[in-house]
A and B are shown apart, each in its own frame.
Chain A
Amino acid sequence: MIPGNKDTRDGLLFSIPFLTVYLLFMIYPLFHGLYISFFKWDILTKPSFIGLANYKTLFQDATFYSSLWHTIQFVLMTTPTLLVIGFLMALAITGSSPLKSVMENTFFFPYIFSMTVVSTLWAWLMQKDFGLFNQTLTLIGVRPISWLTNEKYAMWSIALTTLWWTSGFNMVLFGAGIKQIPKEVYESASIDGATYWQSVRHITIPLVSSTTILCLILQIIASFNVFGQVYVMTGGGPHGTTRVLVQYIFETGFRYYKMGYSAALSYILFLIILVISVLQYVLLGRKEES
């Protein structure tokens, strides 16, 4: 401690600029959103208080349920695959392959692009008549696939794009987790005659479990908030079969000017994510302790 300095006081002083911005642009809007959800408001005219009417409408709204279901579909499609692929990538880059730094860069590379760039790129690749994928399929004599325009494939195509885009991030997290495992554990296992897959199964997987939980929670939250890829690639189509909850929130708020209803929808999404995260944390955290 430097004489004349007071850590607490200085700490607070240094935090003030950040805290001001944080309170103003994060905390205040958070509560203001909740407040708005009790009003009927089109942004331009004066809001009128309608109590819980927005929430009542919401639970009878078929589009809300279908959007929620599409979001859950996306979560179920992407979360396990992203975890597994991220983990496999991490194994590849922490192993002894001479190509590991090349692989690390290649795997992480897509993550640096913005959502718009990635989605536009894949939307072109997957275009039904002129896209590279279908051109290639036609060349090798396979029937082209309606990647984005058939309800059977559209969500999978978006999931595939997301996989390509973000699995590098999970790789970094898993990579860090694997690097923290002491070398001695692996050495003694190999002296005892353990094969590579045995040590992965019995050493790596159990010892990165805290990273797995972190990735799982982050991934589920991220997947529940999916919007950009859907919006750019399919616009929620075909006939609304890929419309996700955040898209519906955006549409009701900024296309149809139902700000109160839109805010109510966001709070429901917030509650869902909150409950899932707490459940995960409690259930998986307890498992680790025992």
Chain B
Amino acid sequence: MKKRLFVLMVVLLISTLLFAQGAGEKKKDGPIEITFWSLFTGGDGEFFDAMVDAFNASQNEIFMKNDMVKFDNYYVKLTTALAAKNAPDVVVVHQGNLLNYVPSGSLLALDEYVKPGMLADFQTAPLEACRFDGKLYSLPFDVHPIVFYYNKDLMAKAGVTKVPVTAEEFIEAALKIKKATGKWGLAIDNTTGVYKAYTLARLFMSMIAQQGGSLLNADATAPTFNNAYGERALTWLQGLVHDYKVNPPELDYDAAMNVFKLGDAAFYFNGVWATGTLEATPGLNFGASQLPALMGKEAAWAGSHTLAIPVQRTLDPKRIEAAMTFIDWMTSHGEMWAKAGHIPTRKSVALKDEMKALPYRSDYAAGAASALPTPRTPAWEEIYGTLSDMLEYAVTKNQNPKQALAEMEKTVKEIIATY
């Protein structure tokens, strides 16, 4: 009995070895299989998968295998894989996170691999954001600024004919809407749920820049928001909830999205990625525009998904070439990605008829020009998260804005000192 079991085990072991070899051999004659990790879930994921399928169908030299990783754990997984040097062939990294990977040499400098003429097709600002010390470490796939969505039906019902632009106009219109319809004027999320109240930090950063200031100084070594700019921005955010009561308190990200989807709030701020979900909502008659100049000139927080090639233990030029082909194809088919709401980064894409035919996107595409760059410091992730928490506290508790700003300034200084 024991002997038979032993024989069975040996047979099983050998057979797995045989199959493994078989699989390896098969790969050689077929197309090169390269791998990709994406962090796109929910609305985005669908469009991304469709693009990868279209890429695989468009040619037969390269087969891209796409694994989806939950956004929450994506960077944990990516960082450990990069440390072990067994990351996939292509990865997506937010522009703001590049600085966590560039100094350690985990990403391949792409300058010698890009096809001639390819770079000229990219818009300058998002492309230059991927350059560190003169070297290009990734290519921008999209720009996703925070934008403004408004419910046309609620505005019509309340007799608000002009889409508000300035901070004062927003309060005026919101009060009018609340009075006429009993619904909320705005739905700015201000409580941590699945996500932190990032919208507060995004708006805060945008409004400071709109007044001519900036969140951090030019080399991102010190906070520069504890001043009249910061106070005006924070006071406005607090006033919506407390003085004018036109924005619900204790609203988390998902709830804010739902409130707007249900037509219970007239004005909504979120990243462009909300467009896909909103337009799929039956009965929601809404418009979109780039973030209005609430406090002076136009400026908006923005993220950017970029595509990068990790450094492997052994660099295989064939795989790198395949990876570059993939990146080229994906960025030059940005009109497919724009369906998820994002703004494509290549000039040739903006000229395509498919792109122009997409509703909403054309209304805010110009916003990419006033997109704010992410401060270049490895401390950014912690500053961003901590500011969200502290703004959440200040807005929820209607904290004295001067005191709130002083505390935020102190904390940000402490954070920067630890890096």
Contact = CB atoms under 8 A, between A and B. Distances in A.
Interface of A: 42-45, 57, 127-130, 146, 148-150, 234-240, 251, 254-258, 261
A53 to B, nearest CB: 10
A239 B392 contact: yes
B336 interface: no
B184 to A, nearest CB: 11
A240 B196 CA distance: 9
A238 B389 CA distance: 8
Contacts of B325: none
Contact of A237 (B79, B103, B196, B379): B196
Contacts of B393: 239-240
A254 B82 CA distance: 13
A257 B378 contact: yes
A43 to B, nearest CB: 5
Given A130-B258, A255-B75, A237 B418 contact: no
In the A-B complex, the 6 residue pairs with the closest CB atoms: A237-B192, A44-B104, A239-B393, A149-B250, A239-B392, A45-B104
Interface string B76-101: 10011011000000000000000011
Contacts of B396: 238-239
B75 A254 contact: yes
B390 interface: yes
B389 A235 contact: no
Contact of B82 (A44, A57, A256): A44
B259 A255 contact: no
B192 A234 contact: yes
B104 A237 contact: no
B79 A238 contact: no
A255 B381 contact: yes
B31 to A, nearest CB: 32
Contacts of B379: 256
A256 B382 contact: yes
A57 B100 contact: no
B71 interface: no
B210 interface: no
Nearest to B397: A239
Interface string B244-259: 0000001110010011
A128 B100 contact: no
Given A236-B192, A255-B382, 18 more contacts: A42-B378, A43-B83, A45-B103, A128-B250, A128-B255, A146-B250, A149-B251, A235-B193, A237-B196, A237-B197, A237-B389, A238-B191, A238-B396, A239-B390, A239-B392, A240-B192, A256-B382, A257-B100
Nearest to A57: B418
Counting chain A CB atoms within 10 Å of each CB, the highest count among B191, B258, B382, B418 belongs to B191
Interface of B: 75-76, 79-80, 82-83, 100-101, 103-104, 106, 191-197, 250-252, 255, 258-259, 378-379, 381-382, 385, 389-390, 392-393, 396, 418
A150 B29 CA distance: 60
Nearest to A255: B381
B83 A44 contact: yes
Contacts of B193: 148-149, 234-235, 237
Contacts of A238: 191-192, 250, 392, 396
A264 to B, nearest CB: 12
Contacts of A149: 191, 193, 250-252
A93 B381 CA distance: 51
B79 A44 contact: yes
B419 to A, nearest CB: 8
A42 B104 contact: yes
B79 A254 contact: yes
B106 A254 contact: no
B266 to A, nearest CB: 17
Given A43-B79, A43-B83, A235 B196 contact: yes
Nearest to A45: B104
A239 B192 contact: yes
A127 B193 CA distance: 10
A261 B193 CA distance: 26
B74 to A, nearest CB: 11
Contacts of B104: 42, 44-45
Nearest to B80: A43
A162 B196 CA distance: 23
A29 to B, nearest CB: 14
A129 B259 contact: yes
6 contacts: A128-B255, A129-B255, A129-B259, A149-B191, A237-B192, A256-B381
A44 B396 CA distance: 38
A258 B418 contact: yes
Contacts of A254: 75-76, 79
A255 B193 CA distance: 17
A214 B101 CA distance: 46
A287 B382 CA distance: 48
B258 A44 contact: no
A251 B73 CA distance: 11
B192 A235 contact: yes
A20 to B, nearest CB: 19
A127 B103 contact: no
Contacts of B382: 255-256
Contacts of B196: 235, 237
A169 to B, nearest CB: 27
Contacts of B192: 234-240
B79 A150 contact: no
Nearest to A151: B396
A112 to B, nearest CB: 23
